[in-house]
Amino acid sequence: MKKSLIISFGALALAAAAPSAAQTMPRGDEPVAVPRTIKQGIDFVYVDPQMSTVARRKQRPQNWLSRMFNPAASRGSQPNPLFLELARGLQQYQDTWGRLPQVKIPAGAPLKPGASGSRVNSLRQRLGLAPGRYDQQLTDAVANYQRVHGLGKPDGVAGRGTVASLNRGAGYYTRLIAINMERAYRLPTTRTFDRYVVVDSGGAEALLFDRDRVADGMRVVVGSPKTKTPMMAVLMRNAKANPYWHVPPELLRSLTAKKVKEQGLSYFQNFHYEVLSDWGPNAQVVDPKTINWRAVGAGKLTPMVRQMPGPWNSMGAMKFEMPNDFGIYLHDTPHKELFAADERHLSNGCVRLQDYRRFAGWVFGGVPQATRAEQTFDLPRPIPVYMTYLTVATGPNGVTFRPDPYGFDALAMPQMFGAGQELASAS
**Burial degree of 191 (CB within 10 A; 0-12, 13-18, 19+):** exposed
Peptide bond before 31: cis, by omega within 30 degrees of 0? yes
Q: How many CA atoms lie within 13 A of 174 on its CB side?
A: 24
Average pLDDT over the chain reads: 83
Complete DSSP assignment for 45-108: EE-SGGGHHHHHHHTS---HHHHHS-HHHHTT-PPPHHHHHHHHHHHHHHHTGGGS--PPPPP-
How far is 134 from 204, CA to CA, in rounded Å?
Answer: 37
Provide the residue count of the chain. Answer: 427
Q: 103-168 sits in which CATH class?
A: mainly alpha
- The secondary element (H helix, E strand) that includes residue 398 is strand 398-401
Q: Worst-scoring range by mean pLDDT, 44-53, 104-113, 358-367, 395-404?
A: 44-53
Q: What are phi and psi of 106, to 5 degrees?
A: -60, 145
Report the sign of the C-alpha dihedral through residues 68, 71, 72, 76, in that order.
positive
Cβ(267)–Cβ(279) below 8 Å: no
Question: Mean pLDDT over residues 367-393, rounded?
Answer: 93
- The winner for highest mean pLDDT among 18-27, 44-53, 150-159 is 150-159
Read off φ and ψ for residue 360, nearest 5 degrees. Answer: -65, -40
Give the count of beta carbons closer than 10 Å to the beta carbon of residue 284: 9
**246 pLDDT exceeds 80?**
yes
The pLDDT tens digits for 54-96 are 444 445 445 454 454 443 444 455 678 898 899 899 999 999 9
Q: Tell me: pLDDT of 33 over 90.
A: no
H-assigned helices in 114-242: 118-126, 136-148, 160-168, 170-185
Domain boundaries, the chain: 103-168
